[in-house]
Amino acid sequence: MTEHVTAPSASPAPGPSSTSSAPPRPTLGTYARLAKLDIVDYYIGLPLVFALTLPLLGMRVDTVGLLLLILVAEIAVVAAMVAFDDVTGYRDGSDAANYGSDAARRRLARKPLVAGTLTEPQALRFGRSATIASVVLWTLVVALAPHRPLWAVIGAALCLVASVQYSWGLKISYRGFQEIFLVGLGVGWVLVPYGLLVGHVDGFVVVQALIFGGGPMIFGLYSNTNDADGDRAAGRITVATKVSPRVNSIFIIALTAVETLLVTGSHLFGIAPWWFPVVLLPVIAMRMMQLFIGFVRGDILRARRMAIHTHRVAVVLLIGANLAVAFLTGAA
């Protein structure tokens, strides 16, 4: 996720909710905003998994059923993660700093604690409940899966634990591992469901998982660039807070180039078929455009929005291409 937090301070930063004598009455919509249900960028990995497994498993009801259960489990994990993320960001004041000056562009309502529509105890109860639900749901997923390779079971547990600890407990993002987490969660949430369904993975599946995981990391880097001053003031460690703006821009350009090299190189080394780099040509073009918008025109938030769209376009193209291959080869 791209929510930005650091370690909590001794006393909460004053927010709109602190001036109210009575706690707000949260609605389902408020909790939906706390859970960031509009952030679909990790969940869309499951249709990609379905498309990848189709040539091997065919069109099966049990496959779709397990993927739907995994979707619910992933939603629970993200809900817990972002609820704790919002509490920490509210306590240290980083959310107020990062969302205050550009609330119209970044929708302050997505931060219920800062907006005053939810109290800290309410958010904590929600986060703890979502954590319990996550454990129950992922246990059920593993129990019902047709295959249980050890690496996939460990991967599922690692994704769950790391997500909850993202801004809470170990505070992974606070300690400088945010960028690694963003790509790791995306990779894990492609490989783990695939492994539970198929029992193994091949090189081409891994390449597509890396492309998928790289999407949230790249638009997270643009978020970090925009939020560098607020994060730095709160003591949060990201690449953008620890290096100069020039070095940070070089870092983002380099990672964008790595994605392009992965797309082209995987074909040159015989891992991906010929159509893979052809299908992703629009994604490469969009990456170049977002670099221009972000670092030539200087509009980082617009570049971030385009990076989000680029990730979604990449996933749609991969799903379509994998489905087309499956049907053309008669495997579906």
pLDDT of amino acid 108? 65
| Rg of the chain taking only CA atoms, in angstroms | 20
The helix or strand, by DSSP H or E, that contains position 48, with its residue range, turns out to be helix 45-57
More confident residue, 228 or 43: 43
C-alpha closest to that of 80 among 147, 134, 140, 4: 134
Q: Tell me the CA distances in angstroms from 20 to 16, 115, 116, 211, 282, one per residue in order.
A: 8, 12, 8, 46, 50
Backbone torsions φ then ψ of 93, nearest 5 degrees? 85, 0
Over residues 8-16, mean pLDDT: 42
Over residues 215-229, mean pLDDT: 92
pLDDT of amino acid 20? 45
C-alpha closest to that of 263 among 288, 240, 290, 283: 283
Q: Tell me the CA distances in angstroms from 187 to 21, 49, 208, 229, 309, one per residue in order.
A: 45, 11, 9, 29, 18
pLDDT of amino acid 90? 85
Over residues 48-76, mean pLDDT: 95
pLDDT band at residue 326 using 50, 70 and 90 as cut-offs = confident
Confidence check: pLDDT of 145 > 60: yes
Over residues 67-71, mean pLDDT: 98
Q: How far apart are the first and last CA of the chain?
A: 33
Q: Tell me the CA distances in angstroms from 161 to 44, 51, 178, 193, one per residue in order.
A: 21, 27, 14, 17
pLDDT band at residue 227 using 50, 70 and 90 as cut-offs = confident
Length of the chain: 332
d(CA 187, CA 199): 16
pLDDT of amino acid 93? 77
At what angle are helices 281-295 and 245-268 packed, to 10 degrees? 170
Instruction: Mark 201-219 as b/e (b = at least 16 C-beta within 10 Å).
Output: beebbbbbbbbbbbbbbbb
What's the chain's average pLDDT? 88
Provide the whole-model pTM: 0.86
Could you report the per-residue pLDDT of 240-270, keeping only the tens digit for each? 999 999 999 999 999 999 999 999 999 999 9
pLDDT of amino acid 23? 65
pLDDT band at residue 332 using 50, 70 and 90 as cut-offs = low
pLDDT of amino acid 62? 94
C-alpha closest to that of 156 among 195, 121, 117, 212: 195
- At 30, list the tokens: 């408020």
- At 189, list the tokens: 């949430």
pLDDT band at residue 101 using 50, 70 and 90 as cut-offs = low
Confidence check: pLDDT of 107 > 70: no
More confident residue, 316 or 117: 316
Confidence check: pLDDT of 316 > 60: yes
pLDDT band at residue 11 using 50, 70 and 90 as cut-offs = very low
pLDDT of amino acid 167? 86
